[in-house]
Structure 1
Amino acid sequence: MSKTIGLTAAFVLSLSFFAPVASANGLKLQTPVAFAEDNDISNAIKTECEIGRQLAEFVKEYAPEPVELVAEAPDTGSGRVLRLEIVDAMSMGNAFLGHQKYTKVHGALFVDGEKVAGFKARRNSMGGAFAGFKGSCSVLGRTVKAIGRDIGGWLADPVDGSHLGD
């Protein structure tokens, strides 16, 4: 009998330990991730590539907690909110000459209206294996996938002022 009580107590204790991380609605994140207001990103990237949508989906995939993707910028005043913006993206080269792409993102985690921590992230890509068969948007997609993975790791231990990626 005491073994059952001990296991039950351990289970209840473990639930209380994870309660702050796994909130009822999880972490809120706008999709697609917006471009910074003062960006110099080419219109071709903004209209032809879907890096904002991809970034939100990759953050959701790699986050250590449930992520709720929302269409409008969520209110940072209640719950856990991750604010992201794409501040720069560059696409030089092509499949024949070689790809040279990067994406830069700034983000901040808010909990009940207070900023917990912020970061800057950047990833570069030359296309990886079979780059000669990939289009520019595909290679930019590789950069936001890596950034999404970086953000997922950061969310497990958010440190203010972090620089993620390359």
Structure 2
Amino acid sequence: MLAALMMLAVAPAAYAADGVTVPRPVAFNEDAEIPKAVRAECKLDEDLPDAIAAAAKEASVPVTFAPQVTSATAGRALEIEITDVAADGNGFIGHRKSMSVRGKLYDNGQVVGSFKARRTSMGGAFGGFKGNCAVLSRTVNAIGEDIGGWLAAPKMDSRLGDLE
């Protein structure tokens, strides 16, 4: 019994040391209805993996990038996609921006964790002076922090961010 408890205590540290491969850029779900201007101008697909890597580093989980990640990617690999982006409102009437993602973590082809995450922002301080991309960047950074922390102790069917 003591040996089993010690294995559980060591597992997260061993897990963190191995690192995770993350796609850069992150794919948009093919069915997602995301405004064309948001896709073209906001670079959410490039900023999200950077935000994940920064937060994972804080959790002692090294991240490497690859152009594409699938269940066949060797080692630990995060398959992730942006499933929804809402960019309603503006500086005059108020922002209502949100982003949703989902992902699966594989360890040599076996699913070891999965999640859905969503973050919403109204722009924060001086939100009325910010554009769509600046406000959506807040959601990207928050989701990146959620996922980066989750990578240190992944679980199946996790709900992150505003979905908790």
Deviations, residues 93-114 of structure 1 (Å, cap 9, x unaligned):
1111110000000011100110
**Any conservation in 1 of the 2:97–2:136 contact (CA below 8 Å)?**
yes
1: distance between equivalents of 2:62 and 2:29? 25
Evaluate the alpha carbon distance shift between residue 96 and residue 117 of structure 1 in structure 2; reply closer, same or farther with a 3 A threshold.
Answer: same
* Structure 1, gaps ≥5 residues long: 1-14
4+ runs deviating over 6 angstroms:
none
2:159 counterpart of 1:163: yes
Compute the TM-score of the two structures, normalised by the length of structure 2. Answer: 0.85
Give the counterpart letter for 2:101 in structure 1: V
Q: Tell me by how many angstroms 1:44 deviates.
A: 1.2
1: distance between equivalents of 2:123 and 2:21? 31
Q: Tell me by how many angstroms 1:21 deviates.
A: 2.5
Select 2:111's aligned residue among 92, 100, 115.
115
Give the counterpart letter for 2:45 in structure 1: G
Residue in 2 aligned with 1:72?
Answer: 68
**Any conservation in 2 of the 1:107–1:119 contact (CA below 8 Å)?**
yes
Tell me the percent identity: 47
1: distance between equivalents of 2:94 and 2:16? 42
Matched residue SS, 1:22? helix
Q: Tell me by how many angstroms 1:124 deviates.
A: 0.3
2:21 counterpart of 1:28: yes
How big is the alpha-carbon RMSD for the aligned residues of Structure 1 and Structure 2? 1.8
2:43 counterpart of 1:47: no
Residue in 2 aligned with 1:95?
Answer: 91
Evaluate the alpha carbon distance shift between residue 19 and residue 129 of structure 1 in structure 2; reply closer, same or farther with a 3 A threshold.
Answer: same
Deviations, residues 29-67 of structure 1 (Å, cap 9, x unaligned):
111111011111111111111111111000000012110
**Any conservation in 2 of the 1:103–1:122 contact (CA below 8 Å)?**
yes
* Greater Rg by CA: 1
Matched residue SS, 2:160? strand
**Any conservation in 2 of the 1:117–1:159 contact (CA below 8 Å)?**
yes
Residue in 2 aligned with 1:37?
Answer: 30
Deviations, residues 111-149 of structure 1 (Å, cap 9, x unaligned):
011000100000000000010111101100100100001
Evaluate the alpha carbon distance shift between residue 80 and residue 17 of structure 1 in structure 2; reply closer, same or farther with a 3 A threshold.
Answer: closer
Q: Tell me by how many angstroms 1:75 deviates.
A: 5.5
Q: Tell me by how many angstroms 1:156 deviates.
A: 1.6
1: distance between equivalents of 2:118 and 2:70? 24
Give the counterpart letter for 1:32 in structure 2: P
2: distance between equivalents of 1:164 and 1:41? 21
